[in-house]
Structure 1
Amino acid sequence: MNKYRVPSSVNLLRAREYGLENSFIHIEQTRRLANFTLCKYRNLTSYHHSSISTMSLEQSEYRYLLSGGANGHICCHDMFPSNLVVKHPIIFQIDRNSNREHHTNNICSLLWYPNDNGLFITLGLDKKLKIWDTNRVKTADEYEFNNFAYSAHMSSTTNTSIIAIGHENGDLRLIDIRTGSNSHIIHAHNKKGICLVKWFNNNPNLLASAGADGQVLFTDIRSSRKYYMALDRDNILTDNQQVNSRTTTSTSSIAHHRGVKSLEFLPDNSHLLTLGGDNHMYLWNVNNGQRLLVNYGPILTDNIRIITLACAQMKHDRTKSLVYVPFGKSIRIYDILSGERLTTLNGHLLPVSTCIYNRLSIELYTCSDDILVWAAIKKQQEDYELSMKTQERRYETTRSLGQILNRDQWSDDEDEV
């Protein structure tokens, strides 16, 4: 935790004198990341009447937050401004009462179109993938499948139009929304099914897929092979050459002993975090597929099918990387490279399923049956609460004086006799 402490003011002034104009910004970002607290006075207009299964924050303005419920309802909140006291309004909602094109079952995935909030994509357990026009809140296109699909993802790179979808029968389907083609199917996993799919951050042709059997496969969609690498939990990064001798392309290679529940690439795309139903979280080298010896301890995943982690990485210092992990009703913050647990955030009443990091305003959004906002505003909240108590005391004092001054001074004539 020491490396996340803020340097003294003298050191900050000295850094500015030496021409390090960005040091203030970097240090402030580092301080905020490790000191999140619950924003008690920032609320979202209530909408969902069931558990919230997933969320998505658009990456063009970092302002509009989509949330999908277990009943198929979808809602969009405006998270601007990020004031100390604010109630975020609903921009639009999609449900059986407001939209005929709504989903009829649990929402599995929500995706904003990369770098453009004019489109967003939804995937539900009603076996339908819908592409929505945000301005009109109407479907622009729709795809229906024969099998259940649990995960969909779109590359964050520019000029992309391909959506990857993982099905319960082990098929990896690619849909090109520009041409409407959905015939490209990769039979990568076995019939236990695919739990998650995730594109690489820096390459629109490479994607990772995770199965219910614990396998994690890397696929190049330009190649005829099903996959070019399979992560193996026994392929550990160490000085012992005998340990490194295992191949990473074997069909028996597994990353977890149970189904994989989370895939999350670090922002610089050098490492991958996986979380499995075996209650283990592993850190992998993306280039060679080796597992790093980082011990995060057991992480309980409860009965949640898909868990979304949030990663934050400092641009000025890659060693300062944090991950926010849902752990039952709380959120744990870990240092990614050391495995040290820095702190735990408590505030939800039900198990948390999704964490979303807003790197523009340096905030964290989490959901269970409700959506909570976290930020480094502990001191501001304490000052606000103190000012409110002071105002209440002044009001009570003024009211008491007013009661004394306005008290009746008359007496009954019979008492005077």
Structure 2
Amino acid sequence: METVRSTEKVRCGQLSSIKYRSSIERCLTTSHVMSSVSLDQKEQVATSYVTYADLECVDYKYLLCGLSDGGVAIYDTSVVKEGSIYGEVGSVKGGQRGTHKYQVECVQWYPADAGLFSTSSRDKRIKIWDPNRMKVVDQFDIDCHIHHHQMSPVATKHSLLAVAGDSGEVILCDLRSGTSTHRLRGHDGAVRTTQWSPRVQHLIASSGCDRTVRMWDVRGSHPFIMALDANHHAAESFRRNKKIKRIPQAHKSQVVSFCFTHDGLWLLTFGRDGELKLWNSTTGRKMDVSYGEMFTDTRRNLRMAVTPSMHPDLVFLPCKSKVLVLEILTGRLVNVMSGHFSTVFGALYNPSSMNLYTFGNDHNFITWTPKIFDVNELEEDENRTLDLLELPKRQRVTQDNWSSDED
């Protein structure tokens, strides 16, 4: 936003090119502070084992946590109380009325506002909550164990909630009607994760235990678009040539995490084979980016996080007890964040505060704070440059100084 304002000021003649360059440098520098992330032992959440978390995308303040006992809790990350604990907005402990029977597998805020949120569990239920009363206002009963669910962040023409479960189908539930409307069939085995495109509201991707990542268009009667192929065979040929029996696979093992970039142009996938891959979300083609050798020791879903509107864009990838920070388009390793004692289950990035939240199998919820960049050096350089520009200009050696009689 600062860059947009600066560009407009330059266009109107209100900002010099020197100051504009300085403002651009400030914006670009914010993307490099992640190379010096430090562990913040002060700000934590006072709760039991966090199994999944989500941050509302309106004010980026309210942190929603799913708990191991089937309960939920909401924290205000802008308020820190005594004992350096995030201020609790509301919570429901496991065992109370309305909570899940087993641990919460997934939570999500309603994308448009913080007026409701959803939770799911292996008890085959998706619950819709009113955060003001911390009460369940609706519920979907699914005929299989649930691993993940998600609502579209950009939908304006539908209110579908996609469910990934053991049935091998992506189940679409309509929040308006309260019923299951569609089932996307094609996976051979359990569906582990679903992700709506942040760019196209009717486009959804799903990953399964069958090592595949499939793209779907929920508008038509034949929703399947393509399956991502790590062997560089065109996904388009698989879609059109029905004689091909080989099913394209994205990884050599189960896909444990994947997500779209903020602009929806790229798709990142991570499998138990230890490979992180980048795909063109439109063509389905695998990009030639090497992220190096990685490992994971879990079969459960992992939540990776990507940065919005940064240069360069970064991905935070849970890798055993560490979190790797990598440049998305180059694969360069920016940082390795060590603080957990066991497997990290998820990472959550706050674009407002630039903090990173991680949670894992060691029952710890950790806040990571980026290094605060001191802009004094940039301002001093800018002032020195302006002083030089204000000095009297020397006349050129070859300049003609004579004047004619006519002048």
Identical-pair percentage = 26
Work out whether residues 26 and 314 of structure 1, in 8 Å CA contact, stay in contact via their aligned partners in 2: no
Q: Which residue of 2 aligns with 1:142?
A: 139
Q: Which residue of 1 aligns with 2:351?
A: 359
Letter in 1 for 2:347: C
Instruction: Report whether the alignment pairs 1:172 with 2:170.
Output: yes
- What is the alpha-carbon distance in structure 1 between the residues aligned to residue 372 and residue 235 of structure 2? 50
Instruction: Report whether the alignment pairs 1:217 with 2:214.
Output: yes
Match of 1:267 among 238, 262, 266: 262
Q: Which residue of 1 aligns with 2:58?
A: 60
Q: Which residue of 1 aligns with 2:237?
A: 247
Shift of 1:147: 1.0
- Aligned counterparts, 1:227-246, within 5 A: 227-235=224-232
Q: Which residue of 1 aligns with 2:112?
A: 115
Q: Secondary structure at the match of 1:366?
A: strand
CA gap 1:379/1:272 in 2 versus in 1, 3 angstroms: closer
Match of 2:183 among 182, 185, 189: 185
- What is the alpha-carbon distance in structure 1 between the residues aligned to residue 341 and residue 372 of structure 2? 21
Instruction: Report whether the alignment pairs 1:376 with 2:370.
Output: yes
Instruction: Report whether the alignment pairs 1:287 with 2:282.
Output: yes
- Aligned counterparts, 1:29-40, within 5 A: 29-40=30-41
Structure 1 residues 265-303: Cα deviation after superposition (integer angstroms, max 9, x where no partner): 111111100001111111001111111121112322212
Structure 1 residues 180-219: Cα deviation after superposition (integer angstroms, max 9, x where no partner): 12132121212x1101100000111110011111111100
CA gap 1:212/1:322 in 2 versus in 1, 3 angstroms: same
- Pairwise CA RMSD: 2.4
- What is the alpha-carbon distance in structure 1 between the residues aligned to residue 238 and residue 357 of structure 2? 36
- What is the alpha-carbon distance in structure 1 between the residues aligned to residue 366 and residue 335 of structure 2? 17
Q: Secondary structure at the match of 2:28?
A: helix
Work out whether residues 314 and 321 of structure 1, in 8 Å CA contact, stay in contact via their aligned partners in 2: yes
Structure 1 residues 70-113: Cα deviation after superposition (integer angstroms, max 9, x where no partner): 33122211100489x9421222112235x311111021110100
Q: Which residue of 2 aligns with 1:93?
A: 91
- What is the alpha-carbon distance in structure 1 between the residues aligned to residue 290 and residue 71 of structure 2? 38
- What is the alpha-carbon distance in structure 2 between the residues aligned to residue 60 and residue 25 of structure 1? 24
Please, which runs of 5 or more residues in structure 2 have no aligned partner? 1-14, 375-407
Q: Which residue of 1 aligns with 2:389?
A: none
Q: Which residue of 2 aligns with 1:415?
A: none
Work out whether residues 304 and 353 of structure 1, in 8 Å CA contact, stay in contact via their aligned partners in 2: no
- What is the alpha-carbon distance in structure 1 between the residues aligned to residue 159 and residue 21 of structure 2? 40
Q: Which residue of 2 aligns with 1:102?
A: 99
- Aligned counterparts, 1:291-370, within 5 A: 291-315=286-310, 317=311, 320-368=312-360, 369-370=363-364
Q: How many residues align?
A: 351
Structure 1 residues 5-55: Cα deviation after superposition (integer angstroms, max 9, x where no partner): xxxxxxxxx9863535742551342132332211132232x211x4x2211
Q: Which residue of 2 aligns with 1:47?
A: 47
- What is the alpha-carbon distance in structure 2 between the residues aligned to residue 129 and residue 194 of structure 1? 16
Q: Which residue of 1 aligns with 2:271?
A: 276
- What is the alpha-carbon distance in structure 1 between the residues aligned to residue 163 and residue 278 of structure 2? 24
- What is the alpha-carbon distance in structure 1 between the residues aligned to residue 89 and residue 299 of structure 2? 28
Structure 1 residues 345-374: Cα deviation after superposition (integer angstroms, max 9, x where no partner): 111122101000111111110001121111
Work out whether residues 166 and 194 of structure 1, in 8 Å CA contact, stay in contact via their aligned partners in 2: yes
Letter in 1 for 2:358: T
- What is the alpha-carbon distance in structure 2 between the residues aligned to residue 22 and residue 267 of structure 1? 23
Work out whether residues 171 and 189 of structure 1, in 8 Å CA contact, stay in contact via their aligned partners in 2: yes
- What is the alpha-carbon distance in structure 1 between the residues aligned to residue 155 and residue 215 of structure 2? 21
Please, which runs of 5 or more residues in structure 1 have no aligned partner? 1-13, 236-242, 381-417
Work out whether residues 44 and 86 of structure 2, in 8 Å CA contact, stay in contact via their aligned partners in 1: yes
Work out whether residues 195 and 259 of structure 1, in 8 Å CA contact, stay in contact via their aligned partners in 2: no
- What is the alpha-carbon distance in structure 2 between the residues aligned to residue 114 and residue 21 of structure 1? 35
Q: Secondary structure at the match of 2:59?
A: coil
Q: Secondary structure at the match of 1:247?
A: helix
Work out whether residues 203 and 216 of structure 2, in 8 Å CA contact, stay in contact via their aligned partners in 1: yes
- What is the alpha-carbon distance in structure 2 between the residues aligned to residue 125 and residue 139 of structure 1? 17
- What is the alpha-carbon distance in structure 1 between the residues aligned to residue 349 and residue 33 of structure 2? 12
- What is the alpha-carbon distance in structure 2 between the residues aligned to residue 199 and residue 76 of structure 1? 24
Work out whether residues 197 and 203 of structure 2, in 8 Å CA contact, stay in contact via their aligned partners in 1: yes
CA gap 1:304/1:72 in 2 versus in 1, 3 angstroms: farther
Letter in 2 for 1:79: T
- What is the alpha-carbon distance in structure 2 between the residues aligned to residue 86 and residue 379 of structure 1? 24
Match of 1:201 among 177, 198, 203: 198
For normalisation by structure 2, the TM-score amounts to 0.81
- Aligned counterparts, 1:378-397, within 5 A: none
- What is the alpha-carbon distance in structure 1 between the residues aligned to residue 290 and residue 80 of structure 2? 35
- What is the alpha-carbon distance in structure 2 between the residues aligned to residue 245 and residue 211 of structure 1? 17
Work out whether residues 63 and 79 of structure 1, in 8 Å CA contact, stay in contact via their aligned partners in 2: yes
Q: Secondary structure at the match of 1:282?
A: strand
